Amino acid sequence: MRLRRIAARGTAVAVGACLMVLLGQAAPAMADTSTAQAQAVTLTLLGGTAGTALSTASNNGEQETQISGAAPGLGVLGQQPLISAGVLVQKAVAYADGISTSCAGLAGNGGVISVGVDGSCTVAGGGGVVIDLAGLATIKADAIIASCRAMAGQEPVARTTLANASVLLLGLPLLNLSLATAPDTGIDIPGIATLLIDARSAPAGPGSVRATALKVALLGSVLAADIGVATCGQNAVIQPVPAVPVHSIPVVGAALGAALWLGRHRLRDLASALRPTR
């Protein structure tokens, strides 16, 4: 009888171990991925392009906060007649919880930017951004910035800030650009340039957003610029993978059932073989 109890206990332990291995293995924890990009300026001039190096941040949900940024001088753009004053600023941030933010554009000399977890972009210090439109008109601003925020499972948001921005024609006020609040607002400066404020797109499909604070194209010229390009998403929730795929559970159940049946009969045979004979 003692031997039978020991054998039964051994069978139960073996079956339990099988169940733990097959069905009870810890699945990987859920992780939210995030990604963001920021680029202060890209220029098209004489058929070529120039611009700041792209700042990119990505996070697989298992890292510390990833931050990529830069604040180079205008010299990185080479010899160009468009932007005559300002600081190029860009920062991309990717958090481990599936949130990413980006901020990019032009600030005044000495200006710096900070990016909040809510996607807000704050410009501090400096003063004076100047964009020369063929010597006839000028755009002046304290800052021209685009920012965005994306979160796994939610619609991304973006914002453009043209702080104290206006167009001057021959030195006289012509347009107040700070009043343009709707995305994809087009403005024509007759005979001089076309402007597109807060240009929007979804470069990676639903769940992503790209905001360009200001697009400038000089009429009768190949000179054009994208100022303040912020991109966020797609961010995604990575689902855990079960140790045993759902479609395999019936097969595993049948195998365990067979093992139990065989174990019971082997136990009976063993007990019979060990039973004393008369």
pLDDT of residue 275: 53
Spatial CA neighbour of 169 closest among 133, 196, 197: 133
Residues 181 and 217 in one domain: yes
Residues 189 and 264 in one domain: no
DSSP-assigned letters across all residues of 210-236: EEEEEEEEETTSS-EEEEEEEEE---E
CA distances from 219 to 29, 45, 84, 132 (A): 55, 13, 19, 13
pLDDT of residue 95: 95
Residues 13 and 96 in one domain: no
Residues 186 and 94 in one domain: yes
Residues 255 and 166 in one domain: no
Q: Which domain holds residue 6?
A: 2-27+245-274
Q: CA 168 to CA 261: how far, in whole Å?
A: 90
pLDDT of residue 119: 64
Residues 115 and 250 in one domain: no
Spatial CA neighbour of 230 closest among 258, 250, 208, 259: 208
Q: Which parts of the chain fold into alpha helices (H)?
A: 2-23, 249-274
pLDDT of residue 30: 56
Residues 6 and 69 in one domain: no
Residue 67 neighbours by CB under 8 Å, 6+ apart: 57, 91, 92, 93, 94
Token representation of residue 16: 């339990």
Residues 122 and 17 in one domain: no
Q: Domain count of the chain?
A: 2
Residues 169 and 258 in one domain: no
Residues 167 and 262 in one domain: no
Residues 211 and 108 in one domain: yes
Which parts of the chain have pLDDT scores under 50? 1-28, 243, 246-249, 251-263, 265, 267, 270-271, 273-274, 277-278
Residues 55 and 151 in one domain: yes
